[in-house]
Amino acid sequence: MGRLADVDVRLLRVFRAVAECGGLAAAQSVLDTSTSTISLHISELERRLGFKLCQRGRAGFELTDRGKATYERALRLLNTIDDNFNDILSLKKRLTGKVRLGMVDALMMHPHMPLAAALRDFNQLDNDVEVQLMVDDRTQLERRLLEGELHAAISTFVRPVAGLAFHRVMSERHRVYCGQGHPLYGVTAVQDTAALAPYPFILRSYWGRTDAERFQSMNIRATANNMEAMTCLLLSGNYLGLLPEYIAEERVKSGTLHMINAPDLEQSSHHCLVLPSTASTSLAMEALVPLILGQVNEADMKEPAPPFLQTPARGRG
């Protein structure tokens, strides 16, 4: 059984051009070579195959029966080679590998969370990427990013971290709440924060020193390391604490939580797409990051933010 060599492929391409052009002279412009050179190539192919492919000369050009059969098979072979080579070339464009992402808890309740829509668009691209998504607290996400365990995370911004770049994607307003049975349940507003100082207050440990310093005048009697824990403590009716409006909204409507207007304690926070600032970026991440930033809602960008937070140039209305 013969083996196909590179020279055979080259000669078959010459023969295909000659057959499709209807003669050696007509194939000159396609092959960009002389008639004599084309004739030598056809003769060499006939020698290698062991039979005549075409009649050529003063009487004109005509494929032999074997030449016609060879052309049909050569066409299928060359098309297959070309198609597979194009598939190989497309591998440099096809996104491959793994994308390791993280996020803090309760973000999916935010009406403008960009990740799900971005992943939907990402998976419309030609890719074989495995997406790994985990939920963890802010400090652990930052550690994992710095150590290369994650490629990106969506997390609450608290302070700058060397080696990380923060791109603002969402904002949220935190307000003071209490649960049914609390002495202040039903009180709509307080003008002086000191009026709240005697009541047990929940510290958000995931905000670190920021919360400890900000609420040092409050009666700290509990700590919570995520939104679920904060909500549970508030629902007991024993504590005051802060929650994002979008998380508390349904419970306020049902009456299980009550909002107290206390402007001095309220705050706006920003969720960011956090990326390592020095690590090389994979093709998959180069494709995904703009899709996430492209989902940013412009309404979230109206809240004032620290100047070192990067804000996407454009977002959705």
Q: DSSP string covering 195-213, please?
A: GGTTSEEEEEGGGTHHHHH
Closest alpha carbon to 280 in 158, 103, 148: 148
Q: Are strands 164-179 and 240-244 parallel, antiparallel or unpaired?
A: antiparallel
pLDDT > 70: percent of the chain: 92
The residue with greater pLDDT, 189 or 206, is 189
Tens digit of each residue's pLDDT (9 = 90 or more) over 154-177: 998 888 899 999 999 999 899 999
Summarize the confidence of residues 210-229 as an average pLDDT: 91
The residue with greater pLDDT, 121 or 309, is 121
Instruction: Measure the CA–CA gap between 282 and 78, rounded to whole angstroms.
Output: 34
The reported pLDDT for the residue numbered 1 is 41
For the cut 90, the answer to whether the pLDDT of residue 151 exceeds it is yes
The residue with greater pLDDT, 89 or 15, is 15
Q: Which domains does the chain have, with CATH numbers?
A: 6-90 (1.10.10.10), 95-317 (3.40.190.290)
97 contacts 82 by C-beta, under 8 angstroms: no
260 contacts 177 by C-beta, under 8 angstroms: yes
Average predicted confidence (pLDDT) for the chain: 89
Tens digit of each residue's pLDDT (9 = 90 or more) over 49-85: 999 999 988 888 999 999 999 999 999 899 888 878 8
pLDDT > 90: percent of the chain: 65
20 contacts 26 by C-beta, under 8 angstroms: no
Q: Grade residue 313 by pLDDT with cuts at 50, 70 and 90.
A: very low
With vertex at residue 287, the alpha carbon angle to CA 153 and CA 281, rounded to the nearest 5 degrees, is 65
CA distances, 115 to each of 49, 101, 172 (Å): 60, 10, 16
The reported pLDDT for the residue numbered 90 is 67
Q: With H, G, I as helix, E, B as strand and everything else as coil, classify residue 8.
A: helix
